[in-house]
Amino acid sequence: MESSLPMTAQTDQIFPFVSVIVPMYNEERFITTCIDRLLAQDYPADKYEIIIIDGESSDASPVIMASLQQKNPDKIQVHKNPMRITSKAWNIGIEHARGDIIALMSAHAEAPVNYISLCARYLQQEKVENVGGIMDTIGRGFWGESIAIGTSNPFGIGNSKHRYSDKPTYDEAGWPGSYWKETLLSVGGFDENMPMNEDDDLNYRLQAQGMKMFLTPEIRVTYYCRDSLISLWKQYFKYGRWKVRVLQKYGKLTSWRHFIPPLFVMGLILSLVILLFFPDLWPIPLIILVPYLLLSAIITFRIAARRGAGFLLSLPLIFFILHLSYGVGFLSGLNFMFSGHNKPDKN
C-alpha cells in the first residue's frame, strides 16, 4: 500500500499519520509511563495520535487518563470497552483511528523513542502488511525478574522469535505489531470471538491471503511481565486454552512448539495412571521427568552463571509452571473441538 501523504523536502521520507492504540484495565502502575513514552516519540508530533481503550478500570487509571488527556487534548483519545476483551479494544481503537497506520501498544510496555518511526519506515520500505519487533521483558522484584528471564528463554517459551531473536525475519510476526489500517479493515479487524491469542488469529488471516510480515530487532519494546507465580499460571493457562480455538478455526498451528507442553502434560498424566494400576512400572514417569529436569537444570545453571546464583531455585519452577499451565490450558481447551462448541467465524 502506498501512502498519499507527500514526502518532506528535508528527508525525502514519507510520514503517514499513525494511530497508536493502547488497551488497558486497572493499569495505574504503568499507564503514565507508557503514555509518556509515546508522547516523547521522534516522529512528527502532528502525524500521530494515541488512543486509549479502557475496560472500565476500577483503580486510579481513569483519573490518570483524564489528566493525560486534559494536558494533550489534540493528541490523546480515551474510549471505553465494557466487554473488557482485548480484541474488542483493538477494534474500538481502529474504528476511531484517523491514521493510515495502526500501531499496537500494551499498557504494560514502554516504547523506545523511535518506535513509531521504525514501524512506519519498515511498513513502507519492506512493502509488508505487518511490522513488529522484540519484546524486551523485564520484571519487578525477585519473582518478576525470574519470570522475565524464564519467558525470554527458548526453553521456557519455545522458538518465539519475538522474545529473543537478533536477526530480522519474514517468517514470524513481531511484537506488539503495526499494520496498515486499510489491511485491518479488509480482513474485518480482530476476531472478537478470541479473548486471547487474537493477534495470532489476525496474523493467520493475513498470511492466508498472501500478506507479508516483518520482524526486526531494531524495534525493541520494554514489557513488564507478571510478578507472581499465580498470575503467571493464569496467563499461560489462558494462552494454552485459547490456542485451541485458533487450531479449531484453521485446522492447524504454525509451529510445533504449541504441541509440546500438552504432550508433556499428557505423558505425565498417562504415566501416573499406569503407575496406579501397575506399580511395578514405576520407572515410566521417570522416563519423562528425568530428561526434562536434567535439561531444565542445565539451562538454569547456564543462566545462573551469568545472572546470579539466586535464580538456581526459581528458574526450574518458572519453567515448570510455564509448561504445565500452558499444557493444562491447551488440554482444557479441547472441549472447544469435542463438545459441539461452535467454530469461530473466520472473518
DSSP 118-131: HHHHHHHHTT-SEE
For 55-68, the pLDDT digits (tens) are 999 999 999 999 99
At 110 the three-state DSSP class reads strand
Note the pLDDT of residue 9: 34
pLDDT of residue 92 exceeding 70: yes
Is the pLDDT assigned to residue 2 strictly greater than 60?
no
What is d(CA 6, CA 177) in angstroms, rounded to the nearest whole number?
25
Mean residue pLDDT of the chain comes to 90
Helix H or strand E encompassing 177: strand 175-180
In this predicted structure, what is the pLDDT of residue 26?
95
> What DSSP state is assigned to residue 279?
G
Radius of gyration of the CA atoms of the chain, in A = 22
Backbone region of residue 14 per phi and psi (left: phi > 0; alpha: psi in -120 to 50; beta: other values): beta
Mean pLDDT along residues 273-293: 89
Whether residue 289 is predicted with pLDDT greater than 90 in this model: the reply is yes
**Residue 102 pLDDT exceeds 60:** yes
Per-residue model confidence (pLDDT) at position 253: 65
User: Comparing 44-58, 160-174, 319-333, which segment has the lowest mean pLDDT?
Assistant: 160-174
Task: Report the pLDDT value the prediction gives residue 14, as an integer from 0 to 100.
Answer: 81
CA distance 311 to 14: 47
pLDDT at 89: 97
Reported as a single tens digit per residue, the pLDDT across 240-258 is 999 998 888 877 766 777 8
pLDDT of residue 182 exceeding 60: yes
For residue 73, what are the contacts with CB-CB under 8 A and spacing of at least 6? none
- CATH of 18-227, picked from 3.40.50.620, 3.90.550.10, 3.40.50.150, 3.30.420.40, is 3.90.550.10
Strand residues in 229-296 grouped as ranges (E): none
SS3 at position 20: strand
pLDDT score, position 13: 61
CA nearest neighbour of 108 among 32, 20, 202, 190: 32
Give CA–CA dist 100/126, Å, rounded: 16
pLDDT attached to residue 339: 58
Is residue 315's pLDDT more than 60? yes
Q: Are 231 and 150 in contact (CB under 8 A)?
A: no
Q: Is 229 exposed, middle or buried (0-12, 13-18, 19+ CB in 10 A)?
A: middle
Q: With a cut of 90, say whether residue 5 has pLDDT above it.
A: no
Q: Please name the residue that has the C-alpha cell 509518556.
A: 36
Is 75 in contact with 162 (CB distance < 8 Å)? no
pLDDT above 90 as % of the chain: 74
Domain spans, the chain: 18-227, 256-338
- Say what the pLDDT of residue 340 is: 52
All three cell numbers of 185: 479493515
